[in-house]
Structure 1
């Protein structure tokens, strides 16, 4: 087994909003589906897209926020955009632009490693740029161009998908998210859909945002990048894109590594339950950690932690706290902040500190956690856009009736009592996609068992609250993949968790298609 000295060994984890959004699932009804693209290859109608040239240039003018402005200024990075049809049934119609960022291979390139960091709403361009020192120290970057892409509607890709402004998110003028979205009337669902249509440049852009089209975009990327077969790394929601691509284009897979897998055998509501079981487990473990310290805000007995959490948070329902910069902190903000911190064990002390401060009337720490959920910059930019997440999921997931959505909220409160406040679980809730202008375009289940794939690799972490460990087992079985089990409490491990064990195994696979032996395990 090779070992490599890493320039940075820090547990950054995936962006928490991406992690939550990637797995958030509240829908169970049957969904409409569209036929997959021609598996024998691209149609003649797409030739102009497949034959386009990529004009790589510096990235300094490609950033869409102040954080990326600094990251993208690195002269070792290159950026470009490619065109794809907005609607693949109308290839001669309107086009979308997909933003790409690459770190060229330091040696002779064998091809490209295409990366999706999760979501829906994760920008691959930002992910590669933010982790540049880690990639530069990776042997994969010696032989492969490292290419991050922003799925349609995300980051630098256009048209953008917008429903609310950053200012409206800051002011709490958007649907709150706890167990489910706090949409309680048909009028609220209609307002959301209308705002998303208007902010996305029209119905066509909005209803073509689903994963089915993102997968087709990935095949255009593969072709335009000059790769006969795809080498892909997908985190979290990227497991869905990778598996769907593999099912649609099995003959075009060279290598596919999945880190944090969504279970394709579960309905969205079933997956949501499995996720909240894991979230509650992480909170229970956090409560034990807290109880071992003096004056724990959650109490000396971990069994009382849920009630103590409610005592701290419930006052925010009627009277939001006010931060030092004048922003209100609502119950929804607090839960988003807690979720953000639970996605990496290294952040648990931050949650405990934030709750202790909030109990004393100080809200800046919990607001900082909420801001990390959205990737909020000091300039007030939300670099992780849940508008896009909603748009994609409304085209991916079957929709619930009000009765089913309300039942789902109640069930989540029961299996994860940390969320069981009346404000989050006891209302009458409606599906946020109820008034969407088109039915879903993805099948359920979104991938079925296959034996026609080359060797693929799934990495699954035992204490992952975003994509629970059992999902990794199931996706590996579905795709006939090798499985690497990682002992730890974090969402996303390869490269970003500082584990040489994980890195070596994944890199041996990506470079030389060497899969680990059955039962392979690492520990964080």
Structure 2
């Protein structure tokens, strides 16, 4: 559904973009050349890195540029890197408010692709009319250069076909550790600038790039839309540059006080809850793949998928469906209730020996194109997650995390996609640059936080916590999906658009229903 919300306010004249606070370098003017740069906009085709971005960048009216930033902000006169940027200009320039910069999450998601896909949807709304919609690929991601590179496409396929176990038994724990060390070594070897880029790819540095982008776009203050991990970029930016925030809509919140282990366990619990909702809805219909008794759905699902450990299912095109890919397909389907019928069809096909539908779901999760090429999502995901969180201390702590993850989501049976994260981060080659904490946000305009009651990936309570920590407004969506703004719910969209245009928060306690 495309909404049209025409809210008119007086536009603020463009002023010279402000500089950030003191920098941790001896020359306080060292960043001037970055803040003063002019973006050279042009055709987006050269920025495509695969079939998905090629398709996205064919969107009419989009243009792209590269933003130059320091590789290491502690050495602003040293090596530079670039951040890919895409924009779709406001269709009513006379009533233009400024830029709306967005990030779709991940970490590792392409903001350029997301903005290109979103532009037609919002064309007749206040966003399309009054904002330049801007998406950026954070450093190390997508069209940004250099890009984090760890596994080849063939190696990613092979990894998905291999199941090292649940990470709990000594043999399984050793297998996960060996795989993690191989992965991290390849990240250092194959990423241009190696450990130097990996040491500076975290959220701490992304928000500094974002402030330079704000200035290069000519905006006095930042209007920002962040989904999922994009909410972490948002609140981290607000903490680093509180005077530079105009409005900030954060949907599908990351709890700023939660460490990696707690977030993985909470996410596992969220997916387990969503699977229960799927089983309950499925049981109402004939042909439910997990049976007519929701209480037995996990056992039925396990009996259906466990044989894949010994014998993967045929999936067409010379490919097969592995056990781990079956688990990933379920996780992918839990992101939106609209995918539940696809999952049910895929599970019924699997019962007949056909894994093709589930494999397509898993490919979607991993952003594997029909040409067999992967986006940078997975490699960048670990690079950011591992540098944004403190490490597990020792093999026993890693094993304990595996145990907690399995207990939180027993239906996944210790399968991917997230099972290897504690091992990878424990062996990551550079130290963390951030850690969970209560954000200090004096003077920041109150954000709008949207939190979905049955969100499987970012629990509802995380949004409640973030809104409270930031002194913002909370909009509750009573649905079963990951994020809600601009996904077709009129109540959510009307409130979100009103906030972005004039900063008006919905009344306390506002709830939107499916």
Contact 2:153 2:374 in 1 (8 A): yes
Alpha-carbon distance in structure 2 between the residues aligned to 1:150 and 1:473: 28
Q: Deviations over 1:94-148 (max 9, x none)?
A: 1111000000111223211110010111101100111221121221222211100
Alignment match, 1:9: none
Contact 1:106 1:142 in 2 (8 A): yes
**CA deviation after TM superposition for structure 1 residue 179, in Å:** 7.2
**CA deviation after TM superposition for structure 1 residue 51, in Å:** 0.9
Q: Closer, same or farther in 2 for the Cα pair 1:152/1:260, shift >3 Å? A: same
TM-score by length of 2: 0.90
Alpha-carbon distance in structure 2 between the residues aligned to 1:136 and 1:177: 47
Q: Deviations over 1:184-233 (max 9, x none)?
A: 35443322121001111221112211111111111111111111111110
Alignment match, 1:129: 116
**Structure 2: gaps (5+ residues):** 6-18
| Structure 2 counterparts to residues 491-502 of structure 1, below 5 A | 491-495=482-486, 497-502=487-492
| Structure 2 counterparts to residues 204-243 of structure 1, below 5 A | 204-243=196-235
Alignment match, 1:512: 502
Alpha-carbon distance in structure 1 between the residues aligned to 2:255 and 2:200: 24
Q: Closer, same or farther in 2 for the Cα pair 1:480/1:168, shift >3 Å? A: same
**CA deviation after TM superposition for structure 1 residue 291, in Å:** 1.8
Are positions 1:39 and 2:26 aligned together?
Answer: no
Contact 1:231 1:254 in 2 (8 A): yes
Contact 1:178 1:424 in 2 (8 A): no
Q: Closer, same or farther in 2 for the Cα pair 1:472/1:174, shift >3 Å? A: same
Contact 1:116 1:149 in 2 (8 A): yes
**CA deviation after TM superposition for structure 1 residue 428, in Å:** 11
Alpha-carbon distance in structure 1 between the residues aligned to 2:127 and 2:163: 41
Structure 1 runs of 4+ aligned residues shifted over 4 Å read 173-183, 427-430
Alignment match, 2:16: none
Q: Which has the higher contact order (CA 8 A, sep 6+)?
A: 1
Q: Deviations over 1:282-327 (max 9, x none)?
A: 1011111222223432122111111111111111112222321111
Deviates more, 1:428-437 or 1:73-82: 428-437
Alignment match, 1:490: 481
| Structure 2 counterparts to residues 328-339 of structure 1, below 5 A | 328-339=320-331
TM-score by length of 1: 0.88
Aligned to 2:174, what secondary structure does the other structure show? Answer: coil
Say how many residue pairs are matched. Answer: 488
Alignment match, 2:36: 51
Alignment match, 1:460: 451
Alpha-carbon distance in structure 2 between the residues aligned to 1:273 and 1:511: 37
**Structure 1: gaps (5+ residues):** 7-36
Alignment match, 1:14: none
Q: Closer, same or farther in 2 for the Cα pair 1:499/1:384, shift >3 Å? A: farther
RMSD value, Cα: 2.4
Alpha-carbon distance in structure 2 between the residues aligned to 1:338 and 1:487: 21
